[in-house]
Amino acid sequence: MQNQRVLVLDFGGQYNQLIARRIREQSVYCDLVPGDMSVEKIKEYGPIGIVFTGGPNSVYDEGSPMVDKEIFSLGIPILGICYGCQMMAYLLGGTVEKAENSEYGKADVEYSPSPLLSGMPPKAVSWMSHTDRITKLPEGFTRLAKSADCPFAAFGDEKRKLYGVQFHPEVQHTENGTQILRNFVYGVCGATGDWTMKGFVERKVAELREKIGDKKVLCAMSGGVDSAVAAALLHKAVGDNLICVFVDHGLLRKYEADEVMNVFKDGMGMNLIKADDGKIFLEKLKGVTDPEKKRKIIGEQFIRSFEKVSKQIGAVDYLVQGTIYPDVIESGKGKSAVIKSHHNVGGLPSVVDFKEIIEPLRDLFKDEVRGVGFELGLPKSVVMRQPFPGPGLAIRIMGEVTEEKLETLRDSDYILREEIAKAGLDESIWQYFTVITNSKTVGVQGDFRTYENVIAIRAVTSLDAMTADWARIPYDVLQVISNRIVNEIGHVNRIVYDITSKPPATIEWE
């Protein structure tokens, strides 16, 4: 059965995906679609509520995006946020003008009682980001909140269930902001909260079973979260008719390749074939120091290794891709997007003989993918795995990749991960790893002069890897990590901590 659905119409604001995620977190399914979706299509979609997002435009500028006014007579509750609320006010006969004082950042907002604001304190901080403001409400609307610079910080027409908020309830700086979104979907739209990962798994498994029947499905496993969860879901649906191929390029972290085999083959009994090609990769990387060349060699050999195994398997009916919802949204065309060859397994489709691509996670945000992973019984180490680059440890070793450097990197990285987990920082830091810097320094150990390797620690906080800041790991944790790496691993006498943000640096060193 179809879930109840909220439709989020996108007008180009920077927090739009966040709005959709916050609604989904309330156990209500929603889709983020371009703001110009026609009223006909909206009716067909059948949402229980509609949200207009913010956006960079001014309603009085020529060519600004506008909904068809008919949308207000569909009887579907609407919440306009920022630009979305100005557009609603403007189209229904209110006045929107350039504000004397733009309002950016935190503002004290006073709330009045309303179904939208149920449970809100009389006064709280909310996050504003606007240069225009509404100076006159359309007929039928009343003021529900105000701030010093914004006379109509929230307003509504309770009869028609149309609401607007000038601030951003979706960002964490807005106190109780999630409560407002929750009030909208439950109190105003009548949601029942039928979007759960348990329900998703049940429905998806039934759907995949029906679609696939006894045909063959092929999945490239990288050890990453998305491909792992996609494979586990398909395994639950079709069992042995799913064949997974895991190319071990020998550039994974300590114990990682074994874990993939333990969890998926031994633990779940998955039909998993491993291409143990570490030696081939290392041979091809011999003498190569240029980062781009390394990437290219690894990418090409990955495809060759996969091809070799898939030839033994022969033709399959379906190829699984770990595409997730942000990839679908970013393709800019919503659900009708042409299937792209996903960057996780770039280039694979052309070397595999298959009839159709299956993307079982294409409706899910990353947090939801993790939720499905837990629901399917995957261990935390797999489900909460930090992002890991396709070329693996090769781009964390400056200069030539050798077996010796790989071992040093794996051992130091393992110590770092152990200590970060022990300090309880593993879920707040986006990525953390060690780097072989390819430089040597003088040290003194046991009264002897040493001339050994420098290892760098890289740890960053980030929301999406587009920008990042260096993580403020407490000094005493850094000290333990430094001591352990130098004492427990040979050939290392110095540890440095990378304190560069992105930009100007990148997260990885190569």
Question: Could you say whether residue 502 binds ligand XMP (CB under 6 A)?
Answer: yes
Among left, alpha and beta (phi > 0; psi -120 to 50; other), residue 507 is alpha
The yes-or-no answer on residue 173 being catalytic is: no
Residue 293 is given by DSSP the state: H
Closest to ligand XMP by CB, 265 vs 295, is 295
Question: Could you say whether residue 507 binds ligand XMP (CB under 6 A)?
Answer: yes
Q: What gap in Å lies between CA 153 and CA 167, rounded to an integer?
A: 7
Closest to ligand XMP by CB, 90 vs 433, is 433
Task: Please identify which of the residues 30, 82, 150, 189 carries the catalytic annotation.
Answer: 82
CB of residue 389 to ligand XMP, shortest distance in Å = 3
Residue 502 is given by DSSP the state: B
Q: What gap in Å lies between CA 414 and CA 489, rounded to an integer?
A: 11
Closest to ligand XMP by CB, 295 vs 340, is 295
Q: How many residues bind ligand XMP (CB under 6 A)?
A: 11
At 80, list the tokens. Answer: 């306009």
CB of residue 426 to ligand XMP, shortest distance in Å = 16
CB of residue 472 to ligand XMP, shortest distance in Å = 19
Closest to ligand XMP by CB, 112 vs 438, is 438
3-state secondary structure 425-477: CCCCCCEEEEEEEEEEEEEEECCEEEEEEEEEEEEEECCCCCCEEECCCCHHH
Q: How far is the CA of 343 from the CAs of 85, 347, 348, 390, 414, in angstroms? A: 37, 8, 10, 9, 27
CB of residue 309 to ligand XMP, shortest distance in Å = 20
Q: What gap in Å lies between CA 18 and CA 112, rounded to an integer?
A: 26
Question: Could you say whether residue 7 binds ligand XMP (CB under 6 A)?
Answer: no
| Residue-wise burial string across 80-111, b where 16 or more C-beta atoms lie within 10 A, e elsewhere | bbbbbbbbbbbbbebebeebeeebeeebebeb
CB of residue 390 to ligand XMP, shortest distance in Å = 4
- Letters for 413-432 (x = contact with ligand XMP by CB under 6 A, - = none) are ------------------x-
Stretch binding ligand XMP (CB under 6 A), from 230-238, 323-331, 360-368, 501-509: 501-509
Among 42, 390, 408, 458, binds ligand XMP (CB under 6 A): 390
Sites for ligand XMP among residues 452-471 (CB under 6 A): 465
CB of residue 299 to ligand XMP, shortest distance in Å = 8
At 435, list the tokens. Answer: 């780097």
The yes-or-no answer on residue 170 being catalytic is: yes
Which residues have C-beta within 8 Å of that of residue 378, sequence separation ≥ 6?
Answer: 228, 229, 232, 263
The yes-or-no answer on residue 30 being catalytic is: no
Task: Please identify which of the residues 103, 170, 256, 510 carries the catalytic annotation.
Answer: 170
Binding site for ligand XMP (CB under 6 A): 295, 387, 389-391, 431, 465, 502, 506-508
Active site residues: 82, 168, 170
